[in-house]
């Protein structure tokens, strides 16, 4: 696990345009690449979402965004500084995506696209870096608990994969963002139903991580395992159908699948809470949970989160929040870029 310090003092209030011109911000996942320009401190505009599958490389997608007329009109002679959050470990210069075929050299990408400074970080490091700046309107609390000021904060998020990170407080308002791959810890079942689902997963995978279940394809895996457990023939349906049928109460097995997903996520979140001592709260990002809406809030997530035996009372003090901000990673990656430029 590596550590990336950020400082809340490095995020200036919105003001005049940057002296070096607009800054490129990107949030690259396994499915979509989101781009934006930060035209002045705290002012993020020209957001555009491109499908990763439509481009042979990240450089191609980046050039396509920069060539958009509205972006080119603002960027003028070019973008000098940029920062990319990517759903992948970032260790050294070469980045190979886990959930997509893109791979690239950070330095080669910087040179190819004409940046003076190009910072590339894990997407959940960027998302974690945004947490101190989220307003009450950009998050929704699920269950009880109250955040303790100056305490560690945990972050998980299920989407194409399962992201895990956190913030550790330091001196002078600084936080240390954790670059973690905690989504790949071994899955831990807590009841007979989850044991049966895990046993089914073992017929498909040698190692079953938390991410195998806490992701889009993971919901499909839970569904197949539940069908086997219930002695029902599984339909060949993808996660959007499973979720839509569950939310509409059209399929009992789909509803049970979503409920199992929420409970399993509660276990993972609770594990993170006790691991980090995250009395500052656990935040939930990613694309899946926000789409579940009230079904998630009324699920067994929070009860499972607190289900830790002797440590149940400890976890009951930790608040859990669903991140509702549309593009929070941009806020975090902007903070990281500001810190990088301020140190030069």
The reply to whether 147 sits in an annotated binding site is: no
Q: Greatest CA span in the chain, whole angstroms?
A: 65
Token look-up 């945004």 returns 130
Q: Count Cβ atoms below 10 Å from residue 115 Cβ, excluding itself.
A: 19
The β-bridge partners of 94 are 105
The position carrying tokens 């938390």 is: 210
Parallel, antiparallel, or unpaired for β 153-158 and 162-169? antiparallel
Spatial distance between the Cα atoms of 28 and 317, rounded to a whole number of angstroms: 34
Q: Could you tell me the two tokens for 226?
A: 């539940």
| Cα–Cα separations (whole angstroms), residue 206 to 177, 186, 200, 201, 300 | 31, 11, 11, 9, 28
26 is in an annotated binding site: yes
Provide the token pair at 152. Answer: 């560690």
Q: What DSSP element (H or E) covers 40?
A: strand 32-40
Per DSSP, 234 falls in state P
Give the CA count within 13 Å in the CB-facing half-sphere of 120: 23
Q: What is the DSSP string of 283-299?
A: EEESSHHHHHTHHHHTS
Tokens of 137: 């309107």
Of the candidates 210, 253, 249, the residue with the CA atom closest to the CA atom of residue 229: 253
Q: Is 51 flagged in the annotation as binding?
A: no
Is 28 part of any known ligand binding site? yes
Known binding residues for ATP:
26-31
* Residue list, annotated binding site: 26-31
């Amino acid at each position: 696990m590596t550590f990336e310090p950020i400082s809340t003092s490095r995020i200036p209030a919105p003001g005049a345009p940057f002296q070096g011109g607009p800054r490129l911000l990107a949030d690259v996942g396994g499915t979509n690449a989101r781009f934006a320009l930060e035209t002045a401190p705290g002012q993020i505009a020209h957001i555009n979402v491109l499908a990763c599958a439509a481009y042979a490389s990240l450089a191609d997608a980046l050039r396509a965004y920069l060539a958009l007329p509205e972006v080119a009109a603002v960027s003028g002679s070019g973008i000098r500084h940029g920062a990319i959050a990517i759903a992948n470990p970032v260790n050294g210069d070469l980045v190979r995506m886990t959930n997509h075929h893109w791979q690239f050299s950070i330095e080669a990408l910087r040179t190819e696209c004409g940046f003076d400074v190009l910072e590339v970080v894990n997407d959940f490091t960027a998302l974690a870096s945004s947490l101190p700046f989220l307003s009450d309107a950009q998050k929704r609390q699920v269950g009880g608990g109250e955040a303790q000021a100056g305490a560690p904060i945990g972050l998980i998020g299920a989407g194409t994969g399962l992201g895990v990170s956190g913030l550790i407080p330091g001196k002078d308002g600084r936080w240390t963002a954790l670059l973690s791959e905690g989504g790949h810890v071994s899955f831990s079942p807590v009841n007979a139903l989850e044991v049966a689902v895990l046993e089914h997963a073992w017929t498909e995978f040698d190692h079953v991580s938390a991410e195998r279940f806490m992701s889009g394809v993971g919901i499909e895996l839970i569904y197949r395992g539940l069908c086997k457990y219930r002695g029902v023939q599984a339909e060949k349906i993808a996660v959007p159908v499973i979720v839509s049928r569950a939310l509409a109460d059209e399929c009992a097995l789909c509803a049970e699948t979503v409920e199992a997903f929420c409970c399993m996520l509660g276990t993972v979140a609770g594990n993170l809470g006790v691991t980090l001592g995250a009395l500052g709260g656990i935040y939930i990002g990613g694309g899946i949970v926000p789409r579940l809406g009230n079904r998630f809030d009324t699920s067994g997530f929070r009860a499972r989160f607190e289900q830790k035996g002797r440590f149940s009372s400890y976890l009951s003090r930790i608040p859990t929040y669903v991140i509702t901000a549309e593009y929070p990673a941009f806020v975090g990656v902007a903070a990281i870029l500001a810190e990088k430029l301020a140190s030069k």
